């Protein structure tokens, strides 16, 4: 037999009003089409509690005691990758048998939810040390220093955005309906490699890399684009060039050219993409390019060039002016990865 539906508050109030007017239980039951026992219960509760609103119920006794809940939460905090099924097994081994749903509810109640692990570079002790040193050495630098930095990096952009997620509204059995699936092609339908640079005053050159970039290719890109970009962005004479520690970037031939060209290079900690604001620029570029849905690689390259030049200088300046927050975040994380 199914659970009966609770009467509305308005209907309960009508029962009380009719009772106060002198009507009998049977008359009220007949007039409102409500069982006599229900009418009697509502009137009795009103006389005791003075209200017709449903009072809090105790509910079923909890499966886990407060101590067991704390143990469960400690277990998950110390082992973030543990599964709900494994938690159930570990609790069962201690003499407590609970369901996966119970574990899930307890964790949600304590603010713990299952999330996809973020992919970040592997940091060893030497990386943590150099990241902390970089943050400490540059913590006192003001906005004028960071506005003179020319940031650079390479990125790969796939034609169809291989990692793009798409959500659809569907019923349970319609997962493989063509309208609810997202077509994919191998290797994202092809991709292009780009080198780019930017400063607080705007975006600099964006160059396509043909094939696998070697140190000679990288040197040619710098020779053709570095100084022209710095001049176009109005960096003056005392600007600083930023690049990561990729072997091509730190090769002897590149170092010699940078020395001869009298270009000051920012000493950079390895495994630190979160310290390079151009990563945020790549995210913006890819989002804008994929929104235009390029159909072939030539069009992909064209859209990249157009969207790169369309990025507002104000957006670049805001990104650079907030750079000190990255250094503070690294210090607070004791050298580990940050949200940037």
**Separation between Cα atoms, residue 247 and residue 259, nearest integer Å:** 17
- Evaluate whether 327 touches 139 at the Cβ level (below 8 Å): yes
- Residue 74, both tokens: 């400690």
pLDDT at 58: 76
Tell me: domain 125-333, CATH 3.40.30.10, correct?
no
User: If you ran DSSP here, which 8-state letter would residue 172 be given?
Assistant: T
Q: Which residue has the higher pLDDT, 202 or 120?
A: 202
Across the chain, what does the average pLDDT equal?
89
Q: Return the closest-CA partner of residue 127 out of 338, 340, 339, 335.
A: 335
- Evaluate whether 219 touches 128 at the Cβ level (below 8 Å): no
Whether the predicted pLDDT of 204 surpasses 90:
yes
Encode pLDDT of 264-277 as tens digits. Answer: 999 999 999 999 99
pLDDT at 60: 78
pTM over 0.95: no
- Evaluate whether 266 touches 151 at the Cβ level (below 8 Å): no
pLDDT at 65: 83
pLDDT at 178: 77
DSSP E strands in the chain: the ranges are 149-158, 191-199, 202-209, 240-241, 264-265
- Evaluate whether 146 touches 320 at the Cβ level (below 8 Å): yes
- Evaluate whether 263 touches 231 at the Cβ level (below 8 Å): no
Kindly state the average pLDDT of the residues 94-111: 88
- Give me the helices (H) in 112-243, please: 125-138, 143-146, 215-232
pLDDT at 90: 87
Whether the predicted pLDDT of 76 surpasses 60:
yes
- Give me the helices (H) in 3-83, please: 9-20, 25-32, 36-49, 66-78
Encode pLDDT of 144-197 as tens digits. Answer: 999 999 999 999 999 876 555 667 777 777 777 778 777 666 555 688 999 999
Encode pLDDT of 103-144 as tens digits. Answer: 999 899 889 888 888 888 888 999 999 999 999 999 999 999
């Amino acid at each position: 037999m199914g659970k009966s539906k609770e009467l509305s508050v308005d209907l309960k109030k009508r029962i009380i009003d009719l009772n106060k007017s002198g009507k009998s239980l049977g008359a009220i039951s007949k007039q409102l089409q409500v069982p006599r026992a229900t009418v009697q219960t509502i009137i009795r509760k009103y006389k005791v509690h003075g209200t017709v609103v449903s009072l809090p119920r105790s509910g079923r006794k909890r499966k886990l005691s407060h101590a067991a809940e704390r143990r469960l939460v400690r277990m998950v905090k110390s082992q973030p990758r543990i599964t709900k099924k494994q938690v159930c097994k570990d609790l069962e081994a201690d003499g407590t048998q609970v369901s996966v749903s119970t574990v899930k509810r307890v964790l949600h109640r304590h603010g713990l939810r299952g999330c996809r692990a973020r992919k970040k570079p592997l940091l060893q002790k030497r990386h943590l040390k150099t990241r902390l040193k970089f943050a400490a050495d540059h913590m006192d630098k003001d906005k004028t220093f960071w506005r003179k930095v020319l940031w650079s990096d390479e990125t790969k952009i796939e034609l169809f955005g291989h990692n793009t997620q798409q959500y659809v509204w569907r019923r349970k059995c319609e997962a493989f309906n063509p309208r609810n699936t997202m077509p994919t092609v191998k290797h994202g339908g092809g991709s292009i490699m780009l080198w780019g640079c930017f400063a607080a005053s705007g975006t600099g050159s964006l160059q396509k890399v043909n094939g696998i970039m070697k140190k000679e290719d990288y040197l040619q890109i710098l020779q053709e684009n570095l100084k022209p970009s710095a001049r176009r962005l109005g960096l003056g004479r005392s600007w600083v060039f930023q690049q990561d520690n990729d072997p091509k970037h730190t090769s002897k031939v590149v170092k010699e050219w940078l020395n001869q060209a009298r270009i000051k290079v920012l000493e950079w900690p390895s495994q630190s993409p979160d310290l390079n604001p151009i990563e945020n620029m790549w995210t913006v570029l890819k989002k804008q390019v994929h929104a235009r849905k390029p159909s072939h690689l030539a069009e992909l390259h064209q859209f990249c060039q157009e969207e790169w030049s369309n990025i507002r200088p104000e957006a670049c300046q805001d990104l650079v002016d907030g750079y000190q927050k990255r250094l503070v975040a690294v210090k607070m994380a004791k050298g580990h990865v940050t949200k940037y």
